[in-house]
Amino acid sequence: MPWFPDFTNALELVRRQTRAAGLADPAAQYLRALNDGDAHLLETVWPGDVVVHDPRAGLIRGHRRLRQFIRGNHSWLAARDAQIETLASTSHADRAVLELVAHLRGDDGQLVAWPVAVVCETPDDRSVVFRSYCSQVPVDGRHHLRPAILPPGDARPPEVVSRYLAAQDAGDAATLVDTFADDGYFREPIGPRAEHRGTAELLAFFTAQLDAGGVGLQQCTITDDGLRCVSEYNCVRWGREDLPPQAGLAVYERGADGLLAAVRVYDDVDPSRHG
């Protein structure tokens, strides 16, 4: 059968092309697998270790559990008529971050916009780790404690982000707002309707949020492409109350003037319970 070697070679070429595309944009391949409900693509791209840290499903490790998770997550999204919108992507070195907004039906049947951030980290060309961050309030109306995923690190954010974090830690709303451009905005984890834009709105929001004192964050990783700085962190203090470390992620987007044009946060910390 003279065509068989050509057929085999063609399959190997497709496999190599698939791997190359996945390695170039791991976040997009993960999103495609979730949309399709098929883990085969991820298994082809990363035949080694595949680890997923998911807010709803917890820790998923290995290919068998990956297939179960992808199928289950696909069914869950399909039952809620979910449509996924890509908001932004940030990458540097072996890490990529994809920001999404899922438009779906919450537990009460109402349409909601659910912000989610996915970090893809590739320790080598055969293995990958996916970490997802979000608040589950838009979906079921409740905060869920998210234990720390990463240990504190020694990466340092750029100057404007460092000033923002220092003011947040000290509970200094006015200094924090000064790190924003005049039309900059802050978006809370619960979605686009919880957005505060411009100096007056930002000052009112942060004055109320920091009324009990600062918010303490341990910085774990920094992914910076020159426009957006993405920080994975553990929230360990709210006001005067120490917290068990809770995982979160924030995106700091800089404008042409070097000030913050946008800050988008992805965590499930409940400020109403603290301070």
pLDDT digits (tens, 9 = 90+) for 92-119: 888 999 999 999 999 999 999 999 999 9
Per the CB < 8 A criterion, the answer to whether 41 and 29 are in contact is yes
Q: Which of 138, 168, 186 is the C-terminal boundary of a domain?
A: 138
Question: Do 123 and 171 reside in the same domain of the chain?
Answer: no
**CATH at residue 95:** 3.10.450.50
Question: Do 124 and 21 reside in the same domain of the chain?
Answer: yes
Q: What is the mean pLDDT of residues 63-79?
A: 94
Question: Do 72 and 167 reside in the same domain of the chain?
Answer: no
- Secondary structure (3-state) at 44: helix
Q: How confident is the model at residue 53 (pLDDT cuts 50, 70, 90)?
A: very high
Question: Do 106 and 213 reside in the same domain of the chain?
Answer: no
| Residue 156 CA, distance from chain mean position | 19
Question: Do 81 and 115 reside in the same domain of the chain?
Answer: yes
Round to whole Å and give the CA distance between 22 and 245: 33
Question: Do 115 and 193 reside in the same domain of the chain?
Answer: no
Q: Which of 103, 138, 173 is the C-terminal boundary of a domain?
A: 138
Structure confidence at residue 4 (pLDDT)? 47
Domain around 119 = 3-138
Question: Do 184 and 111 reside in the same domain of the chain?
Answer: no
Structure confidence at residue 28 (pLDDT)? 84
Question: Do 30 and 134 reside in the same domain of the chain?
Answer: yes
Structure confidence at residue 9 (pLDDT)? 41
Average pLDDT of the residues of the chain:
90
Question: Do 44 and 73 reside in the same domain of the chain?
Answer: yes
The better pLDDT of the pair 192, 235 is held by 235
Pairing of strands 228-238, 58-61: unpaired
Residue 151 belongs to a domain: no
Residue 149 belongs to a domain: no
| Single pTM value for the model | 0.90
Q: What are the φ and ψ backbone dihedral angles of 87, each rounded to 5 degrees?
A: -95, -50
Structure confidence at residue 13 (pLDDT)? 42
Question: Do 120 and 188 reside in the same domain of the chain?
Answer: no
Q: What is the mean pLDDT of residues 81-95?
A: 92
Domain count, the chain: 2
Q: How confident is the model at residue 74 (pLDDT cuts 50, 70, 90)?
A: very high
Question: Do 19 and 128 reside in the same domain of the chain?
Answer: yes
Residue 150 belongs to a domain: no
Q: Which of 138, 171, 199 is the C-terminal boundary of a domain?
A: 138
Round to whole Å and give the CA distance between 102 and 127: 27
Q: How confident is the model at residue 179 (pLDDT cuts 50, 70, 90)?
A: very high
Question: Do 258 and 166 reside in the same domain of the chain?
Answer: yes
Please report, for residues 8, 46, 98, 167, 204, the alpha-carbon distance to residue 20 in angstroms, rounded to integers and kept in the order given.
18, 11, 19, 43, 48
pLDDT digits (tens, 9 = 90+) for 128-152: 999 999 999 999 999 999 999 999 9
Round to whole Å and give the CA distance between 241 and 218: 15
The answer to whether residue 23 scores a pLDDT higher than 80 is no
Q: Which amino acid is at 137?
A: V
